[in-house]
Amino acid sequence: MGATQSTYPARLHIDYPDRLDRVSTAFRLIFIIPIAIVLSLISAAATSTRDVYQSGELVERTTSTGGGIAGGLFAATALMIVFRQRYPRWWFDFALAFNRFSTRVGAYFALLTDRYPSTEDEQAVHLDLDYPDVHQDLNRWLPLVKWVLALPHYLVLLVLGLGAVGAVVLAWFAILFTGRYPRALFDYVVGVGRWALRVQAYAFLLLTDTYPPFSLR
């Protein structure tokens, strides 16, 4: 039996809003630009270019892109678990704070809340991750294969994500006309986010060895 929303070590809940502002909703793509830039600056991957010259002429150009914060943290955490069986607490605290912030930005973009995303305050988005006991909770070798084991979830989330985009578009029209986010659409979009968070906690944050349930709840 799979873990439930209340027992899995990665949990997401977003307060359902009674009313939403029509003007804020109508111009959300404009209003979100400043905070989206902040998020992209924090999480952006580093890109470097190497040019090779012969006789003063450019003969080869190679471009390499790093994985950014997410990729670097995943690789570093995997190495620490495999070779030292440790999960540095400050790495976990950073991952928790970063995921809370990015989820607030995502919730605002998906019209789930009118409150402009804060870099610190929880607001209407409640995201919790459990700090693991590496020796008791984690197999030291699983970080090498978790990202592969989660492949079925990636495929399902691809389909669910497309559905979530459609749900947000429908909700945008509904809010403009009624000032309310249809509850069924709201629960679906939040459920997709909750599903993705559990997969991230398992395959990339490496917080648990419990396989994520195939569930929106």
pLDDT tens-digit series, residues 111-124: 999 999 999 999 99
CA distances from 3 to 15, 147, 216 (A): 22, 19, 12
The predicted structure's pLDDT at residue 72: 83
pLDDT tens-digit series, residues 28-50: 999 999 999 999 988 865 555 56
Give backbone dihedrals phi and psi of 34, rounded to 5 degrees, phi first. -60, -45
pLDDT surpasses 80 at 53: no
Could you tell me if 12 and 194 are in contact, meaning their C-beta atoms sit under 8 angstroms apart? Answer: yes
Give backbone dihedrals phi and psi of 98, rounded to 5 degrees, phi first. -65, -45
Per-residue confidence at 1, pLDDT binned at 50, 70, 90?
very low
Q: What single-letter amino acid sits at 175?
A: I
DSSP assignment of 12-67: EEEPPPS---HHHHHTHHHHTHHHHHHHHHHHPPPEEEEEEEETTEEEEEEEEE--
Which helix (H) or strand (E) segment is 72 a member of?
Answer: helix 68-84
pLDDT surpasses 60 at 66: no
Least confident range from 44-53, 125-134, 146-155, 208-217: namely 44-53
- The rounded mean pLDDT for the chain is 90
Looking at residue 112, the DSSP 8-state letter turns out to be: S
Could you tell me if 100 and 125 are in contact, meaning their C-beta atoms sit under 8 angstroms apart? Answer: yes
The predicted structure's pLDDT at residue 207: 96
